[in-house]
């Protein structure tokens, strides 16, 4: 990539040179709403650099974006995901390294280079900005953000970021940003010294050009921007951090602490954070060139790793779901302007909150009494206040938003509602009664959605005067945080109703999967055998902490016993009973559940569960639980066997859901498990996991367990088919 081609041929960069020699390169990737970096954009960008290097009339360069709302959002993930060969990745990234090095050299050798940043400046976008000599950003706290989120995709910043970021903001802060993948807003970026100056977006390009012009002829070391950044840079706290980083012993402490924390969270399941640490350390100890080389090698290795493949796969599935209408035909969604929420408890409050903060619709809460209404409204108030605190919203906008949510103890205000979401107690008779009441007051074309976690929607719809308008909208707790919405349709649900709810779920910020009705739908159902097996393991005398730590080690965010305490042992017992009625013996719960509920153990909510709770905090295992179960917890089971038994049942049930048409696709099954249940993302979801593990090997594992523990381990027919023909679930 050294040829100097005419910049007039550029496709993805708008290039212009002013009369006084200030060149402006606005990245504008054709055919895309957002800028991403892939080989096509890089080819054009190299031409820009070559032209600036060779054209004496060009005195300085401003790098900006031609898109209204984003600078560069990162690498093109479809392209990254398509890389199958480490050698190919290495050579492509080496070219990017060279271009960025030439950009950096342009600045140091006398032609100032200024990045003008508004909107997302993430991943490769931030790496590009850091290769520029100065960075001016818009002060738009909502739109503009900086980050290196590569770790979330199983890789590390591969275009120089692992070396340039620590140089700019210090090792500790750089490690924090790179290892968490979190992003920061302009105010913090300025404080950290990541950007030199901020200004209103309207004058961004003008200011950038002015700074570039002013810097012409100045030595590079003196071309520094804002005083504010320098002030923070010289603050005692920052100097202390620097002192630590400057000295080899201090650095060793810093790295070993970071490594300890990293292992605590990743359990060694994610190779990228470890690679980030190693590569940054190489740069700090052996110099930047060694650091760049280490970064390239690590990137090439990681980008073709199974973990990156799984994580990028999930990301791309999520993108595909954003475009999925949820139906196979072409029924159009109806407008949703006003939503009624029945029940202002944990779930109703959460739903009302995202209606307000995300979807921006008017919401009316109906509760049994004034305290209930107040509970729902306070939930919304707290969520809105959180947004203000994070500076995502002004207090004025927050006050305006709060006027859009109201509540009452009757159905006043329900006459013009488009969609009702029911979140009252989990009781079929109660759900029937509130549905019939509300159907008496809402418009005939309004939709009734239930947030039940286990009752088949068909059973709820059976009491409706318009079952074609009845649907399930299953949210997860806490609603404002969990990314998934599982929409459940019956044979009668009208396609426009489904399309409307899918569209509305997306407005609420959710990733939406649509599943067919059945006991436990998809997400609750696959938890059934998993939870039951925990009961069997306990009955066999396996220790609670061994079960939990095995599955956390396997990659779940919490162990299954802890999860049962969180969900409520009583709730879990109710659900598995429904499952047993539907699926027979193979879903029969162990006797232990009945013993626990008889002992009034409901889990965290009543402070009596598998663990002890004091002042709402989880403590040690409550050993008295073994007595209730009539077991002595002594059995030492191989950790691998715990992992194998629980994971095999979980994914086998997912296959049954696909086989029975509960799931529309294996993709939805992967996303549902990862986003709804915390299935380990680096395993990519149950179906991606089976493809990697091998269907035939899984069948063998299940059959082996079936001999030892019974028919509940029988492999699903569809799994056997895949085992026989060798076809993957995900192509």
- Which residues of the chain form contacts with ligand NAI (CB under 6 A)? 342-348, 366-368, 372, 423-426, 430, 434, 451-453, 474-477
Judged by beta carbon, residue 474 or residue 667, the one nearer ligand NAI is: 474
Nearest distance in Å: CB 703, ligand NAI = 34
In angstroms, the CA 405 to CA 439 distance is 21
Judged by beta carbon, residue 271 or residue 372, the one nearer ligand NAI is: 372
Judged by beta carbon, residue 225 or residue 518, the one nearer ligand NAI is: 518
Judged by beta carbon, residue 208 or residue 435, the one nearer ligand NAI is: 435
Nearest distance in Å: CB 351, ligand NAI = 9
Judged by beta carbon, residue 438 or residue 537, the one nearer ligand NAI is: 438
Q: Which residue has the closest beta carbon to ligand NAI?
A: 345
Nearest distance in Å: CB 433, ligand NAI = 7
Q: Measuring CA to CA, which residue among 409, 410, 388 is closest to residue 397?
A: 388
Residues paired with 364 in a beta bridge = 340, 406
In angstroms, the CA 517 to CA 723 distance is 27
Residues paired with 617 in a beta bridge = 614
Q: Which of 486, 545, 653, 703 is catalytic?
A: 486
The separation between the first and the last C-alpha atoms of the chain, rounded to the nearest angstrom, is: 34
Buried-state track 462-490, b at ≥16 Cβ within 10 A, e below 16: ebbebbbbbbbbbbbeebbebebbbbbbb
For tokens 């019974």, the residue is 710
Q: How many CA atoms lie within 13 A of 233 on its CB side?
A: 17
Judged by beta carbon, residue 477 or residue 606, the one nearer ligand NAI is: 477
For tokens 């609750």, the residue is 524
Judged by beta carbon, residue 451 or residue 492, the one nearer ligand NAI is: 451
In angstroms, the CA 118 to CA 64 distance is 8
Nearest distance in Å: CB 274, ligand NAI = 34
Q: Measuring CA to CA, which residue among 33, 211, 34 is closest to residue 132?
A: 211
Nearest distance in Å: CB 409, ligand NAI = 8
Nearest distance in Å: CB 593, ligand NAI = 18
Helix-helix angle 523-539:591-598, to 10 degrees: 90
In angstroms, the CA 297 to CA 295 distance is 6
Nearest distance in Å: CB 479, ligand NAI = 8
Judged by beta carbon, residue 184 or residue 563, the one nearer ligand NAI is: 563
Judged by beta carbon, residue 23 or residue 421, the one nearer ligand NAI is: 421
Nearest distance in Å: CB 715, ligand NAI = 30
Q: What is the dihedral of CA 178, 180, 181, 187, to 10 degrees?
A: -90
Answer yes or no: 615 catalytic.
Answer: no
Label residue 665 exposed, middle or buried (CB < 10 Å: 0-12, 13-18, 19+): middle
Q: With H, G, I as helix, E, B as strand and everything else as coil, classify residue 173.
A: helix
Residue 688: phi, psi to the nearest 5? -60, -40
In angstroms, the CA 328 to CA 330 distance is 7
Cα-Cα-Cα-Cα dihedral sign, residues 299, 305, 309, 315 = negative
Q: Measuring CA to CA, which residue among 127, 209, 212, 112 is closest to residue 168?
A: 127
Nearest distance in Å: CB 196, ligand NAI = 46
Cβ-Cβ contacts under 8 Å for 592 (sequence gap 6 or more)? 535, 538, 539, 629
Opening angle at CA 395, ends 393 and 396, nearest 5: 100
Please identify every residue annotated as catalytic: 486
């Amino acid at each position: 990539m050294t040829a100097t081609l005419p910049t007039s041929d550029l496709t993805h960069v708008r290039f212009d040179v002013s009369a006084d020699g200030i060149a402006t390169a606005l990245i504008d990737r054709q055919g895309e709403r957002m800028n991403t970096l892939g080989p096509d954009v890089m080819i054009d960008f190299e031409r820009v650099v070559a032209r600036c290097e060779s054209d004496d009339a060009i005195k300085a360069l401003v790098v900006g974006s031609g898109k209204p709302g984003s600078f560069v959002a990162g690498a093109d993930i479809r392209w990254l995901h398509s890389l199958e060969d480490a050698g190919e990745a290495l050579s492509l990234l080496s070219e990017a390294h060279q271009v960025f090095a030439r950009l950096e050299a342009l600045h140091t050798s006398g032609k100032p280079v200024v990045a003008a940043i508004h909107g997302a400046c993430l991943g490769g976008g931030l790496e590009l900005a850091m290769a520029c000599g100065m960075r001016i950003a818009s002060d738009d706290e909502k739109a503009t953000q900086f980050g290196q989120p590569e770790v979330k995709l199983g890789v590390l910043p591969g275009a120089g970021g692992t070396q340039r970021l620590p140089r700019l903001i210090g090792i500790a802060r750089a490690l924090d940003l790179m290892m968490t993948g979190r992003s920061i807003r302009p105010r913090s970026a300025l404080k950290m010294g990541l950007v030199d100056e901020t200004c209103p977006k309207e004058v961004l390009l003008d200011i950038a050009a002015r700074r570039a012009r002013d810097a012409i002829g100045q030595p590079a070391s003196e071309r520094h921007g804002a005083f504010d950044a320098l002030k923070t840079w010289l603050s005692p706290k920052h100097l202390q951090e620097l002192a630590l980083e400057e000295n080899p012993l201090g650095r060793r402490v810093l790295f070993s602490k970071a490594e300890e924390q990293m292992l605590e969270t990743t359990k060694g399941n994610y190779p990228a954070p470890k690679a980030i640490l190693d590569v940054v350390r190489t740069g700090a100890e052996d110099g930047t060139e060694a650091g760049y080389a280490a970064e390239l090698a690590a990137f090439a290795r990681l980008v073709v790793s199974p973990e990156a493949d799984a994580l990028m796969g999930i990301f791309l599935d999520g993108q595909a779901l954003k475009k999925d209408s949820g139906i196979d035909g072409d029924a159009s969604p109806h407008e949703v302007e006003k939503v009624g929420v029945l029940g202002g408890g944990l779930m109703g409050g959460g739903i009302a909150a995202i209606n307000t903060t995300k979807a921006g619709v008017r919401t009316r809460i109906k509760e049994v009494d004034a305290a209930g209404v107040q509970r729902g409204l306070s939930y919304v108030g707290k969520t809105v206040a959180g947004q203000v605190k994070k500076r995502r919203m002004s207090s004025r906008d927050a006050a305006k938003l709060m006027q859009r949510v109201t509540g009452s103890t009757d159905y006043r205000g329900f006459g013009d509602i488009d969609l009702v979401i029911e979140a009252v107690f989990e009781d079929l008779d109660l759900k029937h009664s509130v549905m019939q009441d509300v159907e008496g007051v809402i418009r005939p074309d309004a939709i009734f959605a239930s947030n039940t976690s286990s009752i088949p929607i068909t059973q709820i719809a059976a009491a409706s005067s318009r079952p074609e308008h009845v649907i399930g909208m299953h949210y997860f707790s806490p609603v404002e945080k969990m990314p998934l919405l599982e929409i459940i349709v019956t044979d009668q649900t009208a396609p426009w109703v489904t399309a409307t709810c899918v569209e509305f779920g997306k407005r609420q910020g959710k990733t939406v999967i649509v599943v067919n009705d059945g006991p436990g739908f998809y997400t609750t159902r696959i938890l059934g055998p998993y939870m039951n097996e925990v009961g069997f393991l306990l009955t066999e005398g396996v220790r609670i902490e061994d079960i939990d730590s095995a599955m956390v080690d396997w990659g779940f965010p919490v162990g299954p016993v802890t999860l049962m305490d969180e969900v409520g042992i009583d709730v879990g017992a109710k659900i598995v009973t429904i499952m047993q009625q539907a699926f027979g013996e193979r879903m029969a719960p162990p006797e232990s559940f009945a013993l626990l509920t008889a002992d009034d153990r409901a889990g965290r909510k009543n402070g009596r569960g598998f663990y002890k709770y004091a002042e709402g905090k989880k403590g040690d295992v409550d050993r008295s639980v073994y007595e209730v179960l009539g077991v002595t917890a002594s059995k030492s089971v191989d950790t691998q066997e715990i992992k194998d038994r629980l994971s095999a049942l979980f994914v086998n049930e997912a296959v049954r859901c696909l086989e029975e048409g509960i799931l529309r696709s294996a993709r939805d099954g992967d996303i549902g498990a990862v986003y709804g249940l915390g299935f380990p993302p680096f395993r990519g979801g149950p179906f991606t996991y089976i493809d990697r593990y091998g269907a035939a090997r899984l069948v063998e594992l299940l059959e082996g367990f079936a001999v030892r523990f019974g028919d509940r381990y029988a492999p699903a027919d569809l799994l056997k088919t895949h085992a026989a023909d060798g076809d993957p679930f995900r192509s």
